[in-house]
Structure 1
Amino acid sequence: MADVGRGGSDQWPKWQTALLVGTPVALGLAGLWYYTRRKPGDEKSKRDKPEKGEDSTTTEGTTSKVQSPSDNVKAQQKSTSRPDVDLNPLEKAQAAKNKGNKYFKAAKYDQAIKCYTEAIRICPPENKQEIATFYQNRAAAYEQLKNYDQVIADCTEALKYNNKYVKALFRRAKACEITGRLMQCLEDVTAVCILESFQNHQSLYMADRVLKDIGKAKAKEALMNRQPVKPSPQFIRTYYSSFMHDPLNQYLNLTSQASEMEGGIEHSKTELTKASEKNQDEISEKEQDESMEKSMKGEEVKLSPYRQAVDCFENHDYDDIVQLCSMEINLSNSSYLPEALLLRATFYLLRGEGNKAMEDFDRLLELNDVDKRIKSNALIKRGSLQMQNGQTDAALADFQQAIDIDPENSDIYHHRGQLYLLTERIEDAVTDFEKSLELSPHFAVAQVQKCYTDYRLAFHRHSPLQLQNAISAFQKTIEKFPDCAEGYALYGQALCDQQMFDKAENNFMKSIELEPDNGNTYVHRGLLRLQWKQDIDEATKLINKAIEVDDKCEFAYETLATIEIQRGNLDKAIELFNKAISLAKTEVEMAHLYSLRDAAITQSNVAKTLDITIPNMAASFME
């Protein structure tokens, strides 16, 4: 599957970046570091210190320890031995609460609510912790009655008296999730995670779940109104370089130019030339017929809109390609309808207009008498789009249909191999890459992808011997295809993972030398510097260089944003996430970025509410 976000090489950051610049839950990026690095005695003393007024007997599913101050215990003891007339207001309030607790345990929630209401009414206003407890207990009773609006209202009142009250925060978070108030839910559960030092799995999983739900909803809405993203020339070149048999390359008869696009790939010239000659013959026949017909009518002969689009592609002039393809498609007697649909769909895909791309792919695949190579290419691209949208089964069905139509097309196995790699079906990926190379043994991109997959399989199996063999095979492949930039980039990632940092650096630099406008490689090199030298300034400099050479490198903005979170620069991180979101190509990708951004925003809001200073995360790398 051609990667339209990382140039075919994005597995490593997804696989390793969390170890370098993040934690499994996005909102923990700064908070987790802060709380786990505090002096052990600080947090222990806070957890062991009872929180005034809290009583757990009326709260189910709580996330904090039972904490009852000694003065309240004394008040309760007094209340059992003294008549009500002798009790002071606080003691009367405690007695009402205790009575409510008994009703709660007996599942008499309406009576419990009356008792808690009485406790709130008579409690002296200076006893804020106790009042907070009474509101929280009443919220627990309302929760049992599924009166979630009142749960939220009472928890809100409790938090006015104690803004770090974990039980009230978590109970309100649950009620907000049920009622669809997801942003408030996220803010509350983030506060819970911070106050509990990120130790409670229930709150962590809830935060992760809510972040994903928010991200999906925002991405769906944003995609409906977004403008297409003009892809960079490098982005287009890298995408097409992942195909050995794309019909467009064959129409252009680009044996030598395609080799350049694919990093010095020595194609099987017999295969490509035969296919190209065949297609050129077909094109010539069509154009001769058109020219003869127009000459007989005395009309000026000019290229069809589709052929003009192909010329634009050859000249790296991409702006008018979609419009020219549309003109061709709208012709009543187009000679290039399948080709125009395929080219337009591909550029819709590259511009992040997935729905339009899907419509064109569907229309093309419904046509009769379409060349099998065009049809299989459309199925590969539609399958890749299905995968990017999280529809794995539909994607695999498209790849299988492509095999049924065109079993000798090595691109099918190459791209399905990448799909398997992304879904951790590594052995299946190896099998597909082997089949791809059996059909096209001189396709360098597939060769290096196969090496990387062998490495991943060895890593997965914890086999030192297989790891050594995979690294050795990588080296031989690089020597065989010395002009393949992607080979050096993937080899560098494997070497970095093995902590062979010097060699990894050399390979990244060689990849950049061959393809200086590929921003992704600068990002990988920046991450290497972060892991190797703990040099966050140099890492940031390299990632900014990625943006300089390709200002549409979404990977760079996302990675920089993550680093800025660690530095404590949340406003800057949010700005960078917004830029990455504007460049995202698919709904899944955009949802992920929205989740990261909203985690940063929420963390900032919670830090202000709880009066917590976000630390300088960069310092942690130096200690």
Structure 2
Amino acid sequence: MSGIPKPGNGSPAASAGLWQSVSTFVRRHRGAAYAIGAVAVFATAGGIYHVKQQKAARKGTKARKAEKETPEKKKVEEEPESSKTEGDEGEDEKVEDSSKGSDVTAESAAAAAAAKKKKKNKKKLKNKKSGDSTAEKIATEESVKSMSKEERSKLATELKTLGNKAYGQKEYANAIDFYSQAITCSHDPIFFSNRAACYAAIGDFEQVVKDTTEALKLDPTYVKALNRRSSAYEQLEKLDDALMDSTVSCVFDGFANESMTATVERLLKKVAEKKAVALMAGRPPKLPAASFIQTYLDSFRPQSKPNFNEEYEGDRILSSAYDALDKGDYQLAYDQAKKAVTVACSSPPISARAYNLIGTFKFVSGDSKGSMDEFNEAINLDSSFIQPYVRLSAAYLDENDHDSMWNVLKKAESVNDKDSDLYYHRAQVHFVSGEFAEAIADYNKSIALDDSFIYSYIQLGVAQYKIQALNQSMKTFEDCKKKFPGCSEVYNYFGEILLDQQKFAEAVENFDRAISIEKRERLTIMSAMPLINKALAVFQWKKDIKQAESLCRQALSADPDCDIAIASMAQFLLQQGKAQEALSYFEQSAQLARTEAEMVNAFSYAEATRTQIALTEKYPQLVGRLSQSM
């Protein structure tokens, strides 16, 4: 809801799977922030805002460093372990930590140079064949045939000790030879895993996969072998396999190992980024869902249609663009606006409207940088036209250029300090930045200049709620109800305030009122939000997952492309164990995403779901442990 979300607070994602620690719903205005990881993208009646989120405190410095790691920065040279007996637990622990990579970063020039040198040395080692070994041939297939079981075991232990010593001296060819001889004596999973560590040190990751796979055949619960194989798969760019092994390792450890949990999250992001890049490259530019565009346009007060001169072709074309805009035919409106600037218009202010419209469609499509040129051209043609200033400032915010954003807003205020939209959108910037006192001041200024815009009141009430001025917030919403009695939005957002306070019955009553008004007044794409909010409310209140799912389906019927409805539906399905169906919704969300960053978010959910499906199929014995871990 408008700035009040709490991750995992009654969300269907609360026990849905791997994404539990990063999943959150953030709902603002008549849109949503679909958040995963570090960035939330707000599609709101107040604009589109990208907001950085703090990582969970429990992650600490280690998790942040782990996220920065690249395969090249990981500690590759692992100590092989001596045994899996209880007497060697201390050494096992030491080796296990080493095999999972260290929290090493290369932020300084010296560290970067060292990493480059290590990579060069590793390439040399890779070219050194294991046949270069000078190790003594102690055990051969012929010689061990005549040995007793006890003699083979004793000799294997001695050979492993020699292998460990050679490894410690970085004599990898000798170490490989000794471990191979140990394997000849006994097919112990440790011997295969130790030999895999040697192959990892010389960069032979195909052989690492072979040896760790043999180790896991002998002991499917061998976590260290899983971790080593996962690292090798990642080096080989077999990211799905790497993700699977890391996930299985985490399940065995009960998700208690923060380093491996961070590895899972990093691999999820890496897989998602790869798929997002491929999708963006193969997808022609397109406008986002109509509900997304309408949400953004509704964040500005309605303006009268310009006085077009029909004698000019540019004016006639732009007039048709405005007509298409009113009808919700946004693609036609965009096309006509682009066409209008190629022919003569009656005046610079008319041309400015065309460029402003083009910039708007570029902006909502995720092309913030491209939109800047259009907005600047609109300002050059008509410096008194405030709307392109406001939208240009949002584009700068989208690019994280705060200095330019504030400069544009200051310039706009110097041009016209009586524009109510200017103060409303400046308030929105303060709001998403957590500057609620400043936001309240600007919402009030916006209302003083024009008291007919409902969202100024709604956001004022929410900002007051955020600073715990509950009485003021309640009064603002009650006054808003009286001033806009037939408007569903006020009941929807007041319901969210009540839901945040866990006043479930009152919240549902307000959502029902909003739904009733929507059905009576109009059946539009905006009918979805109160339905989704009611779904979340009945789930938190009564744990009625079936009703929640039914309400989500109604929301999707009202607006099939509503991103928050799609995400909510996926989460409710996951809660019921319908992972395959949930996966289809996450993939649909990726297809609807405007930008590569939003695709990464959606694909992260999708890949987490896909991995969980594959895990339950490949490791059915882990299903119980997975549910306990979550």
Q: Does the pair score TM above 0.5?
A: yes
The residue correspondences of 1:186-265 to structure 2 (distance < 5 A) are 186-227=243-284, 234-244=291-301, 249-252=302-305
Please report how far the alpha carbon of residue 552 of structure 1 lies from its aligned counterpart in structure 2 after TM superposition: 1.3
Amino acid in structure 1 at the alignment position of 2:97 = G
- Preserved CA contact (<8 Å) 1:21 1:566: yes
Map 1:583-594 onto structure 2 (within 5 A).
Answer: 583-594=592-603
Q: 1:39: which partner in 2? A: none
TM-fit CA distance, 1:153: 3.9
The change in CA–CA distance for 1:616 and 1:232 in structure 2 (over 3 A counts) is farther
For 1:611, give the aligned amino acid.
P
Q: Alignment partner for residue 13 of structure 2, among 19, 22, 32?
A: 22
Aligned with residue 565 of structure 1, among 555, 563, 574: 574
Flag structure 2 segments of 5+ consecutive residues without an equivalent: 24-83, 101-145
Change (3 A) 1:62 1:532: farther
Per the alignment, residue 488 of structure 1 pairs with 491
Structure 1 pair 378–532 and aligned structure 2 pair: CA distance change class (3 A)? same
Look up the SS of the partner of 1:455 in the other structure: helix
- 1:320 is aligned, of 308, 319, 332, to 332
Q: Is the 8 A contact 2:196 2:212 kept in 1?
A: yes
Q: Deviations over 1:206-226 (max 9, x none)?
A: 212222233233223322333
- Aligned mates of 2:199, 2:427 — CA distance in 1: 53
Alignment partners' CA distance in 1, 2:249 and 2:445: 51
Shift of residue 433, structure 1, vs aligned partner? 3.5
**Structural mapping, 1:213-612, within 5 Å:** 213-227=270-284, 234-244=291-301, 249-252=302-305, 280=306, 283=307, 287=309, 291=311, 304-331=316-343, 335=347, 336-350=350-364, 353-355=365-367, 358-366=369-377, 369-372=380-383, 374=385, 376-385=386-395, 387=397, 391=399, 393-394=400-401, 397-407=404-414, 408=417, 409-426=419-436, 429-458=439-468, 466-467=469-470, 469-516=472-519, 517=524, 518=526, 519-612=528-621
SS in 2 for 1:88: helix
Output aligned runs, 1:80-159, within 5 Å. 87-105=150-168, 108-124=171-187, 130=188, 132-145=189-202, 147-159=204-216
Matched letter for residue 322 of structure 1: Y
Deviates more, 1:442-451 or 1:20-29: 20-29
The Cα shift of 1:427 comes to 5.0
Q: Which deviates more, 335-344 or 428-437?
A: 428-437
Do the aligned partners of residues 117 and 383 (structure 1) sit closer, same or farther apart at CA in structure 2, a change above 3 Å counting? farther
- Secondary structure of the structure 1 residue equivalent to 2:605: helix
Identity rate, percent: 27
Q: How many angstroms does 1:106 deviate by? A: 5.1
* 2:531 and 2:552 in contact (8 A); partners too: yes
5+ long unaligned stretches in structure 1: 1-8, 33-48, 65-83, 125-129, 253-279, 295-300, 459-465
Q: Is the 8 A contact 1:383 1:399 kept in 2?
A: yes
How far has the Cα of 1:611 moved from its partner? 2.0
CA distance 1:165–1:418, change in 2 (3 Å):
farther
Alignment partner of 1:59 is 2:68: no
Give 1:383 shift. 4.3
Kindly tell me: are residues 232 and 436 of structure 1, through their superposed partners in 2, closer, same or farther at Cα, counting changes over 3 Å?
same
Alpha carbons of structure 1 residues 607 and 63: separation in structure 2 relative to 1, 3 Å: farther
Of Structure 1 and Structure 2, the greater helix share is in 1
> Structure 2 vs 1, CA of residues 174 and 395 (structure 1 numbering), >3 Å: closer, same or farther?
farther
Contact 1:399 1:416 in 2 (8 A): no
1:266-317 CA distances to partner (integer Å, 9 max, x unpaired)?
Answer: xxxxxxxxxxxxxx5xx35xx1xx63xx8xxxxxx99510011112223444
Q: What whole-Å deviation, never above 9, does each CA across 1:524-575 have from its counterpart, x for those lacking one?
A: 1101110001000000000000011111112111111122222221111111
Whole-Å separation in 2 of the counterparts to 1:160 and 1:616: 20
The 1:380/1:561 distance shift into structure 2, 3 A limit, reads same
Aligned residues: 511
Query: How far did 1:395 drift?
Result: 5.4
Deviations 1:451-471 (A, max 9, x none): 11222333xxxxxxx345534
Pair 1:382–1:522, CA change in 2 (3 A): farther
Q: Which moved more, 1:396-405 or 1:206-215?
A: 396-405
Question: Cα gap change, 1:63/1:193 in structure 2, threshold over 3 Å: closer, same or farther?
Answer: farther
User: Whole-Å Cα distance in 2 between the matches of residues 323 and 594 of structure 1?
Assistant: 31
**Partner SS, residue 354 of structure 1:** coil
Distance (whole Å) between structure 2 residues aligned to residue 149 and residue 404 of structure 1: 60
Mark the CA change 1:500 to 1:23 in structure 2 (over 3 Å): closer, same or farther: closer
Query: CA–CA distance in 1 between the matches of 2:483 and 2:401?
Result: 36
1:438 Cα deviation after fit: 4.9
C-alpha spacing 1:595/1:548, structure 2 compared with 1 (3 Å): same
Question: The residue matched to 2:11 in structure 1 has which SS?
Answer: helix
Structure 1 residues 417, 120: CA separation in 2 closer, same or farther (over 3 Å shift)?
farther
Residues 369/101 of structure 1: CA separation in 2 closer, same or farther (3 Å cut): closer
Deviations 1:552-610 (A, max 9, x none): 11211111112222222111111111222222223322211110000000111122222
Q: Is the 8 A contact 1:567 1:615 kept in 2?
A: no
1:26-70: CA deviations, max 9, x gaps?
A: 62559x9xxxxxxxxxxxxxxxx9799997278341689xxxxxx
Give the superposition deviation at 1:342.
Answer: 1.7
* Structure 1 vs Structure 2 CA RMSD: 3.8
Per-residue deviation at 1:179? 5.2
Residue type of the partner of 2:208? V
Aligned mates of 1:560, 1:28 — CA distance in 2? 15
